[in-house]
Amino acid sequence: MTDQTPTDDAESVLRNKCVALIHATRRRLHELDPGLFPAESTKEALAILTKTIERIGEAENLRQARPTKVYPALLSLQDLIQDIELSGSYHLSWPLIELLGDAFSKLVAHGDIAAFYATMKEHNYRTISYNQQYQRLLGGALPARALASILGTRQLLCVELPSVEEEHPALHTNVLHEFGHVLLDNDSPFAHDFVRVWLREFRPFFTDVERDIVGNTEDKQDLRFALGEACYQFASELVCDCFGAAVVGPAFSIAYGEMRWNKPTSFWIVQPSSSGRGLRAHPGFSFRVEVLKGLRSYQSFRDGAVRLFPRLKTPELNDFDRLMDLVDTRRSTDRIAVNRFLGIDSDSAQSILNDRLTKLKDACRRVVMRFEPLVVDRLKGILDPVKPQTIFELLRRLEQDLTPNTAKDTIPCGLGADFQSILAAGLYYRLGLLSVRSQDETRMVRSLNIADQLVAKAIEQSYVQHHANVVGGG
Ligand SMILES: [Zn+2]
């Protein structure tokens, strides 16, 4: 006979399961080859995971921590390890990750933030704070102080790319939008400028909204706060799109559009955030494309493309405006849907926003128009905008099944095209191929595969050139 209760027995069983899983996780981590990571910062994420599993496995910790907290934390750890496994060069284009990583570090310009890249099953691009996610998933398995000392002060971000698009490097242009989020979400003069512009342009909107906010003081305050947060995020999403458009011009709409073709285009969404804190809000796809078409970067590229693209051999690429119209074929009027699980009066929030949709759109447009020059200025010298003449020449190479890595006339002899021009040319060409109305599907798929491979090869060459310039001080 022992004096153990059934609860003690159950805890003991679970503790032993924890010990077995710690051993299995150690083995899994040991098998990872850091030589396969395209970004140096992936090693930081791996170091954090390794330290964590060692601390959880320490006898002292296992004695004190509740197995009911440790076991789910160990299971969450498996997902985080999978992120690292999927950030190997088998899954990601390492030259593109290097080029993006270089631009990212110049943009952020200080050492307290680093990013690594991972693929995910979801058909989307997003950036998550690895530190916050880590604390949320691992809290309870280790004392807060131990977790904080493992994470350190540096902020590690995980930029997630859709695994289904692994083979289409040009679509990773969407990462430029994520760079916008990183700059807006961190305390910097740039982020402060955005808040200032947003407050100024949205003030009349909120004065008008105030009339319809009813209920007791606390409910009113919650509703006011949620509406403010939603409108702030609507405007942020549009400004982050400007980051893509300022670099690759109208091609950004294609990259973004390819990710959205399977989703409703007119719905604006306000829903709980996946981290469980606050909300997420996105404007409708059609409105985003409309705002992109009003940008100066769009118009200046269009002027050149309308003049040059009719000279291309591929008929689908000749009419630039028609090509861009394929990105969005709006079928219904915009509506804002507010999720019921936000802890506010969602019906009121929904009607307040929908009743003023025109004014909300106007305020968003004004924020974007005022902020676009600041985005262009922020990117200057780091990611220069693509030129219509260069894209035209790269498209001519793609038409001949040649790598789109050089453009005579616009790029000095011996230099390759920059990676943003290669991505932009790849996106126009892809859209042209996808828009072919032919019964010969095999031929279309073959052409798409060739184009993707040529673009990947050109990015490799661009990286080699970039690396030679860095090493040679060019
Ligand atoms: Zn976004």
Return the pLDDT at 1. 47
Distance CA 57, CA 445 (A): 50
Give the distance (Å) from ligand 1 centre to CA of residue 233.
9
pLDDT single digits (tens) 292-345: 999 999 999 999 999 999 999 999 999 999 999 999 877 789 999 999 888 888
Span from the CA of 196 to the centroid of ligand 1 (angstroms): 20
Answer for the pair 70, 56: CB distance below 8 angstroms, yes or no.
Answer: yes
Query: How many angstroms does the Cα of residue 236 sit away from the middle of ligand 1?
Result: 8
Q: Tell me: the pLDDT tens digits for 410-433?
A: 666 657 899 999 999 999 999 999
pLDDT (0 to 100) of residue 261: 74
CA of 177 to the centre of ligand 1 (A): 6
Q: Which residues partner with 235 through β-bridges?
A: none
Distance 260 CA to ligand 1 centre (A): 13
Q: How far apart are the first and last CA of the chain?
A: 79
Q: In what order do the strands lie in the sheet with 267-272?
A: 279-282, 267-272, 335-338
pLDDT, average across residues 274-296: 90
3-state secondary structure (DSSP) of residue 31 = coil
Distance 181 CA to ligand 1 centre (A): 7
How far apart (Å, rounded) are the C-alpha atoms in residues 389 and 408? 10
322 CA distance to ligand 1 middle (Å): 27
- Report the separation in Å between the CA atom of 162 and the middle of ligand 1, taken as the mean of its atom positions: 14
292: CA distance to ligand 1 center in Å? 14
Cα(297) to ligand 1 centroid in Å equals 19
Closest CA to 314 of 430, 439, 446: 430
How far apart are alpha carbons 53 and 178 in whole angstroms? 30
Which phi and psi angles does 404 have, rounded to 5°?
A: -80, 65
**CA 3 to ligand 1 center in whole angstroms:** 57
Q: For residues 80 and 51, is the Cβ–Cβ distance under 8 A?
A: no
- Within 10 angstroms of residue 371's Cβ, the number of other Cβ atoms is 22
Cα–ligand 1 centroid distance for 104 (angstroms): 16
**Span from the CA of 234 to the centroid of ligand 1 (angstroms):** 9
Report how far ligand 1's centroid is from the alpha carbon of 239 (Å): 9
Q: How far is the centre of ligand 1, averaged over its atoms, from the C-alpha of 182 (Å)?
A: 10
What's CA 29's distance to the chain center, in Å?
27
In the reported structure, the alpha carbon of residue 178 is separated from the centroid of ligand 1 by a whole-number distance in angstroms of 6
Q: What number of residues does the chain have?
A: 474
Output phi, psi for 114, to 5 deg.
-135, 155
Average pLDDT on 387-402 reads: 95
Among 197, 278, 207, which Cα is nearest to 235's?
Answer: 197
Q: Report CA(46)–ligand 1 centroid distance (Å).
A: 26
126 alpha carbon – ligand 1 mean position (Å): 7
Q: Does 245 score more than 90 pLDDT?
A: yes
Residues 89/38, Cβ–Cβ less than 8 Å: yes
How many whole angstroms from 16 Cα to the centroid of ligand 1? 42
Over range 125-148, report the average pLDDT: 87
In the block, residue with structure tokens 């679509």: 171
Quick check: 155 and 231 in contact, CB under 8 A? no
Distance from residue 244's CA to the centre of ligand 1 (Å): 11
CB atoms under 10 Å from CB of 259, counted, come to 16
State mean pLDDT over 4-28.
Answer: 86
- Going from the Cα of 333 to the center of ligand 1, the distance in angstroms, rounded, reads 22
pLDDT for residue 246 is more than 80: yes
Ligand 1 mean position, distance from CA 117 (Å): 16
Tell me what the mean pLDDT of segment 449-454 comes to.
Answer: 94
Please determine, for residue 4, whether its predicted confidence score (pLDDT) is greater than 60: no
Q: From the CA of 51, how far away is ligand 1's center (Å)? A: 32
Distance 146 CA to ligand 1 centre (A): 32
How far does the centroid of ligand 1 lie from the alpha carbon of residue 86, in Å? 22
pLDDT at 301: 97
Q: Check whether 6 has a pLDDT greater than 60.
A: no
d(CA 241, ligand 1 centre) in Å = 8
Pairing of strands 155-162, 279-282: unpaired
Tokens of 458: 């050109």
Beta strands (DSSP E) in 130-254 are 155-162
470 CB-contact burial (10 Å; exposed 0-12 / middle 13-18 / buried 19+): exposed
C-alpha 344 to ligand 1 mean position (Å): 23
Report CA(100)–ligand 1 centroid distance (Å): 17
Residue 419 Cα to ligand 1 middle (Å):
22
Contact between 426 and 447 under an 8 Å Cβ cutoff? The reply is no
Measured in angstroms, how far is the CA atom of residue 240 from the centroid of ligand 1? 7
The rounded Å distance from CA 382 to ligand 1 centre is 21
Q: So what's the pLDDT on residue 413? A: 61
